[in-house]
């Protein structure tokens, strides 16, 4: 009888303990459910305000003046918020998206778009406390720095390869023109470099959508491009960098965007004739030589015409390195070449007229460096004279090193802190494709840091810290060139700042 009563007492105590536990655990479970729901709604709200701020910042490029650009930003931000936070999302009510704020004056050459929103979120289990909803708020800010940007486009002959009923050259013209629409007239400065053997430069201007005195804009010049010639990338990068230095705007984002479909295969240098020596006395003693008695060495571009980095084959030059028209003067020998073989035909002229390549380009960049025929990590693998002007391979090696060293000069400028962005267009030059590792190195792309290639990691450690960081995009074929341009444009002008 006593045992039975004891068991009854135990069962009664269990009921009491269960009831007490439920009084505590059910509210806790309810609290966890409500808090989880609120967290999910809050995350979605922040995603929507982030998307709205970024869209607004991108839209600051649309419009002929600051007022129109601000209106465009407000409209784009509102549209993106509504698209990213659906009505009645998880039972929410009273969605309020405030008019976005555009600040164009606080910081020179920098604009921000600030977005904010509130929403009433439902409470379920916590209604026992007498509250049916709670207010959730979120705000985001995206910044857009005005740029001084030089767009550098390769118009070499390989760009004429046929692709899907058209050419890579024609596709580049369309996509590069569209790329310019990311930039805001009256705020951004946009210029252009177009290069084959010779290089054409259009300086950056804040009125880049308005025709100049000759009726030109960067977009209209791009539409005139005919692809021909070789790949004087070194001179193109120098001209782009010189244009940015002339602007000298430290408060802007100073940017060079390079698109190319092949390795550099020529560079501009000072050349001396065979047997002439390097002094004015030597030159005067050879009045009939390729070097003129009183003008000194000839300046121009030597290039390889072998269709790839081959040890033997055709080389050419000296070509005029700069041009006054967008389609250049490819194949034209330098003006003061009387007495030289190149005066009548630049093909095969370098080994006839000159003994060696110079040790630097005309701008002082060494033509030796990370790329060498003796370097097992280099794409070149034949041990020949580094400065042999008769070797297509060595001209290409020298050209690659020259532009590599030119890019290092650009990235290490402390005053302007320029960024280099690069695009490799593949599929056009099967015998001499773009050197993607070189282009990544030129951009100082952070992905090199974790690349399985030991060479990529080595290049990264050589350059960082202390050099500006850019971005590299690979376009496997011309159909993906537009996406490559778009990817770079968004990285240049828009940043989310919280």
Cα separation, 212 vs 408, in Å, equals 33
Higher pLDDT, 104 or 257: 257
Q: Is 294 left (phi over 0), alpha (psi -120 to 50) or beta?
A: alpha
Average pLDDT of the chain to the nearest whole number: 85
Token code pair at residue 5: 């009563």
Residue 291 belongs to a domain with what CATH number?
Answer: 3.40.50.410
pLDDT band at 382 (very low <50, low <70, confident <90, very high): very low
- The reported pLDDT for the residue numbered 295 is 54
Same domain, 357 and 445: yes
In a domain, 469, yes or no: yes
Shared domain check, 222 and 139: no
The answer to whether the beta carbons of residues 311 and 382 sit under 8 Å apart is yes
> Going by C-beta distance under 8 Å and a sequence separation of 6 or more, which residues neighbour residue 141?
53, 112, 113, 114, 115, 496, 497, 498
Question: Does position 126 have pLDDT exceeding 50, yes or no?
Answer: yes
Tell me: do 404 and 280 sit in the same domain. Answer: yes
Task: Report which of 202, 194, 271, 206 is spatially closest to residue 235, judged by C-alpha positions.
Answer: 194
Residues 135, 152: one domain?
no
Of 145, 169, 203, the residue at which a domain comes to its end is 145
For residue 414, give the DSSP letter: T
Per-residue pLDDT band at 368 (split at 50, 70, 90): confident
In a domain, 323, yes or no: yes
In a domain, 4, yes or no: no
* pLDDT on residue 87: 93
Same domain? For 277 and 327 the reply is: yes
In this predicted structure, what is the pLDDT of residue 384? 46
Q: In the 8-state DSSP scheme, what is residue 230?
A: -
Q: Is 101 helix (H, G, I), strand (E, B) or coil?
A: strand
* DSSP helix/strand/coil, 3: helix
Structural domain including 53 reads: 12-145
CA 221/CA 324 separation, integer angstroms: 12
**Separation between Cα atoms, residue 341 and residue 231, nearest integer Å:** 22
- Helix ranges (DSSP H) in 66-224: 66-84, 168-179, 218-223
Sorted by sequence, the CB contacts under 8 Å of residue 337 that are 6+ apart come out as: 290, 298, 318, 343
Residue 7 placed within a domain: no
Say whether both 234 and 370 belong to one domain: yes
**Which of 84, 111, 145 is where one domain is finished?**
145
Residue 78: name the closest of 120, 41, 112, 115 by CA: 115
Boundary-marking domain end, from 145, 160, 176: 145
From 2-16, 72-86, 129-143, 429-443, the region with the lowest mean pLDDT: 2-16
DSSP structural state of residue 345: -
Please give the average per-residue pLDDT across 312-316, as a whole number.
88
72 domain-assigned: yes
Contact call for residues 85 and 48 (beta carbons, < 8 A): yes
Both structure tokens of 2: 């006593």
Same domain, 185 and 239: yes
- The Cα-based distances of 330 to 338, 357, 439 in angstroms read 18, 20, 24
For residue 225, give both structure tokens.
């491009």
Distance, in Å, from the CA atom of 448 to the CA atom of 456, rounded to the nearest integer, reads: 5
Instruction: Measure the CA–CA gap between 83 and 303, rounded to whole angstroms.
Output: 54
Q: Is the pLDDT of residue 348 over 60?
A: yes
Q: What count of other Cβ atoms lies within 10 Å of the Cβ of residue 479?
A: 14
Asked whether residue 82 falls in the same domain as residue 187, the answer is no
**Within a domain: 1:** no
425 has pLDDT over 80 = yes
Q: Are 406 and 269 in contact (CB under 8 A)?
A: no
Q: Which of 54, 46, 146 is nearest to 100 (CA)?
A: 54
User: Of the ranges 56-65, 101-110, 366-375, 377-386, which is most confident?
Assistant: 101-110
Give the least confident one: 167-171, 269-273, 334-338: 334-338
Angstrom distance (rounded) from CA 41 to CA 94:
13
Are 130 and 162 contained in the same domain? no
**Residues 138 and 160 placed together within one structural domain of the fold:** no
Please report the pLDDT score of residue 333 as a whole number. 85
Helices (H) and strands (E) in the chain, counts: 11, 16
Question: What's the pTM value of the predicted model, to 2 decimals?
Answer: 0.83
Q: Is position 194 within any domain?
A: yes
User: How many structural domains is the chain composed of?
Assistant: 2
| Residue 92 shares a structural domain with residue 212 | no
Question: Are residues 39 and 173 located together in one domain of the fold?
Answer: no
* DSSP-assigned beta bridge partners for residue 239: none
Tens of pLDDT, residues 462-483? 776 679 999 999 999 999 999 9
Q: Is 5 a member of any domain?
A: no
């Amino acid at each position: 009888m006593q045992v039975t009563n004891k068991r009854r007492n135990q069962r009664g105590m269990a009921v009491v303990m269960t009831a007490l536990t439920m009084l505590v655990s059910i509210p806790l479970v309810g609290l966890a459910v409500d808090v989880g729901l609120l967290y999910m709604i809050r995350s979605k709200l922040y995603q929507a305000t982030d998307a709205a701020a970024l869209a607004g910042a991108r839209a600051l490029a649309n419009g002929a003046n600051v007022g129109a650009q601000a209106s465009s930003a407000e409209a784009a931000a509102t549209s993106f918020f509504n698209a990213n936070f659906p009505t009645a999302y998880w039972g929410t009510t009273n969605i309020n998206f405030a008019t976005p704020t555009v600040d164009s004056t606080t910081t020179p050459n920098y604009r921000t778009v600030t977005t904010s929103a509130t929403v009433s979120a439902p409470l379920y289990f916590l209604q026992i406390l007498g509250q049916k909803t709670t207010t959730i708020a979120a705000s985001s800010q995206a910044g857009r720095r005005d740029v001084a940007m030089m767009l550098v486009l390769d118009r070499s002959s390989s760009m004429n390869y046929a692709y899907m009923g058209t050419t890579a050259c024609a596709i580049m013209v369309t996509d590069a023109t569209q790329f310019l629409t990311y930039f805001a007239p009256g705020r951004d400065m946009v210029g252009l470099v177009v290069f084959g053997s010779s290089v054409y430069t259009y300086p950056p201007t804040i009125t880049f959508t308005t025709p100049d005195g000759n009726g030109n804009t960067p977009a209209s010049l791009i539409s005139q491009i005919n692809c021909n010639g070789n790949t004087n990338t070194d001179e193109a990068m120098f001209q782009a960098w010189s244009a940015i230095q002339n602007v000298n705007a430290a408060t802007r984002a100073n940017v060079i965007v390079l698109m190319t479909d092949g390795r550099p295969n020529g560079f501009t240098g000072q050349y001396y004739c065979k047997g002439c020596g390097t002094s004015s006395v030597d030159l005067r003693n050879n009045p009939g030589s390729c070097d003129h008695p009183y003008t000194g060495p000839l300046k121009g571009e030597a290039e390889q015409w072998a269709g790839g980095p081959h040890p033997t084959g055709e080389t050419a030059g000296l070509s005029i390195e700069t041009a006054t028209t967008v389609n250049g003067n490819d194949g034209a020998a330098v003006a003061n070449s009387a007495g030289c073989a190149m005066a009548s035909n630049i093909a095969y002229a370098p080994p006839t007229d000159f003994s060696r390549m110079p040790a630097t380009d005309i701008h002082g960049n060494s033509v030796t460096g990370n790329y060498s025929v003796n370097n097992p990590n280099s794409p070149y693998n034949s041990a020949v004279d580094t400065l042999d002007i008769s070797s297509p391979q060595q001209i290409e090696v020298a050209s690659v090193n020259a532009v590599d060293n030119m890019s290092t000069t650009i990235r290490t400028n402390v005053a302007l802190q320029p960024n280099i962005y690069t695009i490799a267009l593949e599929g056009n030059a099967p015998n001499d494709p773009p050197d993607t590792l070189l282009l990544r190195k030129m951009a100082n792309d952070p992905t090199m840091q974790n690349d399985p290639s030991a060479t990529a990691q080595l290049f990264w450690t050589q350059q960082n810290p202390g050099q500006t960081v850019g971005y590299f995009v690979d376009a496997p074929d011309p159909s993906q060139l537009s996406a490559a341009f778009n990817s770079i444009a968004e990285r240049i002008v828009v940043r989310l700042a919280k």
